[in-house]
Amino acid sequence: MANMATEKASVAHAKNILSSLINKVADGKTRVVLESRGKPKAALISTEDLEKLERLENRAAAPQRSLNILFRAQALRGKMRRRRKKLLPDSAGTLGSNAGTTRPWNLRSASKTKGRKCMLAQSTLAFIIAALAVFTVPTPSVAAESSCPAIIDHKFANLMDEPVSLCQFTGKVLLIVNTASECGYTPQYDGLEKLYRRYREKGFVVLGFPANDFGAQEPGSNQEIAQFCRVNYGITFPVFAKTAVVGKNANPLFRELAAKTGQPPRWNFHKYLLDRTGQPVAAFESAIEPEDRRITSEIEKLLAAR
């Protein structure tokens, strides 16, 4: 039941994100308003909203649900990009002396041409929201999944300060890593991303937990960490807000992993490998590269096991 509730909450959040894409025109640029916990935030189409869609694509737990949401999110991204190209030239002329003010773009006040564009966008959003609504009822395979393993039954904020339940990764093979941006092992981000892309369709996920515990090598804010990961390594796997992984302030996940394996992290990029039932089966020291055969062979073995 807890897993079912988590699935419903995840999809409901996705619906809220999509349904809150309200079109506005200001300062000669097409903008959207995105709601985060009920608070609207304005952002350019090419930045905040596309990032939210990328997170949406990675959020779904069931393979079929993930595939459908992926297709619809990609379709929406394409519509938004095409719309942005069409609207930007018109916006400056439309605003004229009203530049610097923000006004809603709706069918009553817009011209017929803009009205047709708005209707198309609203129809697209309505279609996506209706399709997502179907997913609020778990399929038999989702409902039949075992309850969330105790070791991952935790919630952590991600780099955008949004709460994420690790229970959504139930049934996945997980590689959990404490990361840092200014470490000699930081280039392992590249290997972790390659590993994630290679095996994610088979049910594998990398979870990154930035920590400043070793050598103060993660001094930046969550926003800076997010930008660093995206710009330098194109990271798409889930990365959480900065946390502690050792000592009395260690987060509960890493405390349990250390207790079960007898191997707490001794430096950045320590790696824990968990099977589909949430049981830790191996731990790898920082110096072992993500694509080392010792890691990939274990991953492939766990993915093959059902």
pLDDT of residue 49: 56
Query: Shortest CA distance to 4 belongs to which of 131, 135, 132, 128?
Result: 135
Tokens 């079960």 correspond to what residue?
260
> What positions carry a catalytic annotation?
183
Instruction: Tell me the C-alpha distance between 280 and 173, whole Å.
Output: 10
pLDDT of residue 23: 38
Question: With contact defined as beta carbons under 8 Å apart, do 212 and 225 qualify?
Answer: no
DSSP-derived secondary structure letter, 262: S
Q: Report all structural domains of the chain as residue ranges with CATH numbers, in order of start.
A: 2-134 (no CATH), 146-304 (3.40.30.10)
User: Could you state, in chain order, the average pLDDT of each consecutive group of 10 residues for the chain (306 residues)?
Assistant: 50 50 36 42 47 57 49 65 53 36 38 52 53 38 61 97 97 98 98 98 98 97 97 97 97 97 97 97 98 98 91
pLDDT of residue 306: 72
Q: And the tokens for 182?
A: 């200014």
5-60-132 Cα angle (round to 5): 80
